[in-house]
Structure 1
Amino acid sequence: MKNNVQLITYVDRLTGSGVQALDNILHNQLSGLFSGVHLLPFYYPIDGSDAGFDPIDHTEVDSRLGDWGNVKTLGESHELMADLIVNHMSAQSKEFLDVLDKGSDSPFWELFLTKDKVFPAGLNEEQQAKIYRPRPGSSFTNYVLPNNQSADFWTTFTDNQIDIDVTSDVGQAYLTRILKTFAENNINIIRLDAAGYAIKKAGTSCFMLEETFEFIDQLTKKSNAQGIDTLVEIHSYYQTQIEIAKRVDQVYDFALPPLILHSIFSQDFSALIKWLNISPRNCITVLDTHDGIGIIDVGPMNGKKGLLDNAEIDNLVKKIHLNSAGESQKATGAAASNVDLYQVNCTYYDALAANDYDYLLARAIQFFAPGTPQVYYAGLFAEKNDMSLLSATNVGRDINRPYLNSEHIEKSLEKPITQAIIELIKLRNNSEAFNGEFTIEGQQSVLEMAWTNDKSQATLLVDLTARKASIELNDKGKKRFILLESLLN
């Protein structure tokens, strides 16, 4: 994968149309900005209970977006990332419907995970308490089967997302079929969605077990053999991320977004500097995604210190709620239909009180941090919280999943903040310095991030107290000095 800025987007929610329209936008309004695109779920259906993360058919492009031919064409000009949803599939899939019709006589019976497969002697309270939960409530949903029978199926996220038994032969065949389809259609990298929950074992947390690492290792090898790299998506304790990074192609730096917010809010870079001195280098960086802003990634866990303490996390969350005029509070936790209680749902722009300078500073820090930067489509255009969509769906994460179109893009491209972000993207893409060595220094409100690659250097200097930031570039003797605020003029 090229070390250039990439775009994260839903096909329909950016374009108002399909893959061909996205291709046109990337070659026109957004020409030359993104070397790659993370296509959020484009499988049938894109409008299930979890915005495509509950596929009925993981190998079928939703016809409203086009077909595999359109995806393959897009992949000829851009590196493509797609989600491999390893943990579950839709309760409306033909495979699960067949199970409901035929019970254990279905050829797909072994594809799905039931409670008694993991707990054949029954699940006691002690075992139940150990299971790591991303949401409140039970890990299981009871479904009626033929002959007056029923079964408790694992439903880690929602009752419409039935967990797969990835250790079974039919489960392995299912994943192999998806990989083959991806390889045939120019998918270069897969995001292993919810991979940490894929392996369940009695008496454990059923999250990121040693067996989970082994499963990810095996799946990575299968993917690599098809010419596909893997990116593991896991929200967890920061030390866990470091360990995971040693064993996979790439991980997300999910600690970065809350740490940047904390730094700006508290005027103290100490936690961020500590993290970037030890953070994985084989990572993808983001500020915002289709999910909320992760908190668990910087917090303490099981008595172990986090990058931030509980008081700092409380202040961070309260400040986001304050900056967004309470809108994030309406979309977070028990206030809306959330599948993850460890995230704050809010656009990153509104988390920073829609302050253009602070938002641009956050992007600059992201682009200078180690890793390959990705920019979410709503973040590119500095979108505000979509309260109308939240009200219509009562899905907390929809606050940051707006529906745009070509006309909206044209207007957004005229905004000073969008133009400034585009300039930062060009800077990040065009400097050879970012392929070199990274250093970071600073204390309290002052930060210096630098990249050096032979005769190319790039340095970001920030003083939060003075509200000044600058970028110094030297690309093989060609020097530039940029005051960050000047990009907004």
Structure 2
Amino acid sequence: MDTAQAREGVQLIAYADRLGGSLAQLREILDGPMAGLFTGVHILPFFTPFDGADAGFDPMDHAAVDPRLGTWDDVRALGAEYTLMVDLIVNHVSADSAEFRDVVARGDESPHAGMFLTMDDVYPLGATEADLVGIYRPRPGLPFAVLTLGRRKRLVWTTFTSQQIDLNLANPTARAYLDRVLTTLAQGGVSMVRLDAVGYAIKSAGTSSFMTPQTFGFIDELTARARELGVQVLVEIHAHFERQIAIGSAVDRVYDFALPPLLLHSLSTGDAAPLHRWLDVRPANAVTVLDTHDGIGVIDVGPDQMGDGRPGLLTPDQVHDLVEGIHERSGGSSRKATGWAASNLDVYQVNCTYYDALGRDDRAYLIARAVQFFTPGIPQVYYVGLLAGGNDMDLLARSGVGRDINRHSYTRAEIDSDLARPVVAALSGLIRFRNTHPAFAGECTVGGGGDRLTLTWTEGAHTAALDVAFATKEATLTWTGPDGTARTCTDLRELATVDPSGS
């Protein structure tokens, strides 16, 4: 695979309240102890309220910055320095939003009545059993909550939780709301929006209501509007790998959610064949991640759970072994946060930090990050992953929310201490290398076979290559220095003290 790729620097994913405490303090950390590490930042929801039922993904007011975190001026200040990504939550709003509270109080007399989706909106003549069981949902059960709107009970569409009320995006009021939010984000200095849960946004009778042709049509319309405002679009979808390929061809950016589980598989088994298969077909316009605010997706590499059950990049047995391996290497802590063991159930993710998913093996962790950075796309590093964080069992015990295991709130002292740890210092060196070496402005070639993977970037006389032997967890980094001479590192942990630029 030869992929022309303009250089894209490494970006950070972070909650302002959990890494710094506010928007201004997040910027201070980026400019201070993390100076030079990131060219962009994805700030997870900072809207009112940032600490709702789903950690900000259930906004009461999606166009307002929670005053406890700062103001739009703080957001614009970050956008002036960094490529700024923000979530556009397209599927739902909080049950406590002013609009929905008015509908609860006044029913059909509310001017916002058509803004929210009910079962009748999709199935005006009623639904059969086949219709209902055919709806794809990332939680157990049906996506409805029985709520009283005005004087009558309705089946209101709630894809995720009863605190997150789905928008009726066929209604002009809902579309006007979404356009107002998008315009506000653009005016706030945002250069890219992540379309949160967009795969579920359009519901259509007779379909799964997930990534249907109507959904693609909606994404096209929203992307066109975003581009008018000077904003790029990143689509967030957990689905069969062939759907990711199709989505990638239609949008600015798509997540590479297959890479994290495939790397875990390769590092635990020595088998790099599924990873090679993916690297041969994956979208080049991807945002690469190993971890995010959610869990580690496994649906992205398994057989298709919809339609004809097409084979995945891993077999069902391999997916089972992958999940059990994470639980084992994390000392069983991930099992306590995944599936039926915790609320906010995800049927397609394992809740665990990536560092714990690898058994806190520094060498394996740095290899995984190196492969991420050498894979074409925009690399993003989650704040807990940046600091090689372990599972936060105390937070899990307090909240009972599985994904909180990977959402630690760092004090400034913890940040300073973790940045000095050898594994984090080595990761920081790797990030700076990815940001500065001129080879990453060129083309990437994939080689190797069996347990080996080689990723080589070339731009003129500049080269940077990563060779990994997964069976032995050995990696060799070679590159051209500023004077044109070849340089080599055979242990990525050395990057804690060695400047790979050679300067």
Q: Secondary structure of the equivalent of 1:346?
A: coil
- Aligned residue among 480, 483, 486 for 1:479: 486
Secondary structure in 2 aligned to 1:462? strand
**2:116 aligned with 1:109:** no
Question: Does 1 or 2 have the higher relative contact order (CA < 8 Å, sep 6+)?
Answer: 2
Q: Is the 8 A contact 2:427 2:496 kept in 1?
A: no
In the alignment, structure 1 residue 190 sits paired with structure 2 residue 193? yes
- Check the 8 A contact 2:338/2:350 in 1, yes or no: yes
1:388 maps to: 394
Q: String of CA shifts for 1:78-106, please: whole Å, max 9, x gaps.
A: 11100000000000000000000110111
Q: Does 2:261 match 1:258? A: yes
> Is the contact made by 2:267 and 2:471 (CA closer than 8 Å) also made in structure 1?
no
The residue aligned with 1:290 is 293
Q: Answer yes or no: is the 8 Å Cα contact 1:241–1:251 preserved in 2.
A: yes
Separation in structure 2 between the aligned mates of residue 2 and residue 461 of structure 1, nearest angstrom: 21
Q: Deviations over 1:140-166 (max 9, x none)?
A: 00111233x111110000000000011
Is this contact kept in 2: 1:158–1:339, CA < 8 A?
no
- Counterpart code for 1:318: E
Which one-letter code corresponds to 1:411 in the other structure?
S
What is aligned with 2:12? 7
Q: Is residue 2:216 matched to residue 1:216?
A: no
1:431 to 419, 427, 437: 437
Equivalent pair of 1:268/1:443 in contact (CA under 8 Å): no
Distance across 2 between alignment mates of 1:303 and 1:152: 30
After superposition, give the CA deviation of every residue in 1:232-277 in whole Å (9 maximum; x if it has no partner).
Answer: 0000000000001011110000000000000000111111011011
Q: Does 1:167 align with 2:201?
A: no
Native 8 Å contact 1:110 1:165 kept in 2: yes
For 2:223 and 2:412, locate their aligned partners in 1 and report how far apart those are by CA, in whole Å: 37
The alignment's C-alpha RMSD in Å is 1.2
| TM-score with structure 2 setting the length | 0.95
Query: How much has 1:475 moved relative to structure 2?
Result: 5.4
> 2:83 matched to 1:76?
no
Report the Cα offset of residue 74 of structure 1.
1.2
Q: Answer yes or no: is the 8 Å Cα contact 1:269–1:442 preserved in 2.
A: no
Whether contact under 8 Å (1:469, 1:485) holds in the other structure is: no
Change (3 A) 1:488 1:353: farther
Q: Does the Cα contact within 8 Å between 1:188 and 1:227 map onto a contact in 2?
A: yes
How far, CA to CA, are the matches of 2:471 and 2:368 in structure 1? 15
Q: Deviations over 1:94-133 (max 9, x none)?
A: 0000000110111101110110000001121010111001
Which amino acid in 2 is paired with 1:332? T
- From 311, 327, 330, give the equivalent of 1:321: 327
- Matched with 1:245 is 248
Rounded to whole Å, the distance in 2 between the matches of 1:467 and 1:55 is: 43
Q: CA deviation at 1:441?
A: 1.4
Q: 1:362 aligned to 364, 368, 382, which one?
A: 368
> Could you list the runs of 4 or more consecutive aligned residues of structure 1 that deviate by over 4 angstroms after TM superposition?
none
2:384 maps to 1:378: yes
Cα drift, residue 413 of structure 1: 1.0
How much does 1:4 deviate? Answer: 0.3
Opposite residue 443 of structure 1, the aligned amino acid is G
- Counterpart amino acid of 1:324? S
- The answer as to whether partners of 1:8 and 1:40 remain within 8 angstroms in 2 is yes
Shift of 1:312: 0.5
- Kindly state the Cα deviation for residue 339 of structure 1 after the two structures are TM-superposed: 3.6
Note if contact 2:139-2:347 (Cα within 8 Å) is conserved in structure 1. Answer: yes
The residue that corresponds to 1:91 in the other structure is: 95
Q: Contact 2:290/2:381 (CA < 8 Å) preserved in 1? A: yes
Kindly state the Cα deviation for residue 465 of structure 1 after the two structures are TM-superposed: 3.4
Q: Contact 1:457–1:475 at 8 Å: present in 2 too? A: no
Deviations 1:2-46 (A, max 9, x none): 60000000000011x211101111111001110100000000001
2: distance between equivalents of 1:80 and 1:378? 19
Q: Secondary structure of the residue that 1:268 maps to in structure 2? A: coil
Larger mean CA deviation between 474-483 and 201-210 belongs to 474-483
What is the match of residue 414 of structure 1? Answer: 420
SS in 2 for 1:449: strand
Gapped regions of structure 1 (runs ≥ 5): none
Give 1:464 shift.
2.8
1:171-207 CA deviation, whole Å, 9 max, x = no partner?
1111110111111111000000000001001111000
Q: What are the superposed Cα offsets for residues 339-390 of structure 1, whole Å, 9 maximum, x if unpaired?
A: 4211000000000001111101110010011111000000000000000000
SS in structure 2 of the partner of residue 141 of structure 1: strand
Q: Matched residues in 2 for 1:74 and 1:464: separation?
A: 39
- TM-superposed CA distance for 1:452, in Å, is 1.2
Q: Partners of 2:190 and 2:242 in 1: how far apart? A: 30
Question: What's the secondary structure of 1:11's corresponding residue?
Answer: coil
Q: Distance in 2 between matches of 1:172 and 1:145?
A: 21
Contact 1:44/1:61 (CA < 8 Å) preserved in 2? yes
Q: Aligned pair count?
A: 487
CA distance in 1, matches of 2:149, 2:179: 28
CA contact (8 A) 1:2 1:35 kept: no
1:138 and 2:138 correspond: no
- What is the CA–CA distance in structure 2 between the aligned matches of 1:19 and 1:197, rounded to whole Å? 30
* 1:187 match: secondary structure: coil
The alpha carbon displacement at 1:485 in A equals: 3.6
Distance 1:63 1:11 in 2: 12
Q: Say whether the 8 Å CA contact 2:395–2:404 is kept in structure 1.
A: yes
TM-superposed CA distance for 1:478, in Å, is 4.6
Tell me what 1:347 maps to: 353
1:63 equivalent among 55, 67, 73: 67
Contact 1:368–1:449 (CA<8 Å) still a contact in 2? Answer: yes
Identify which of 407, 410, 435 aligns with 1:401.
Answer: 407
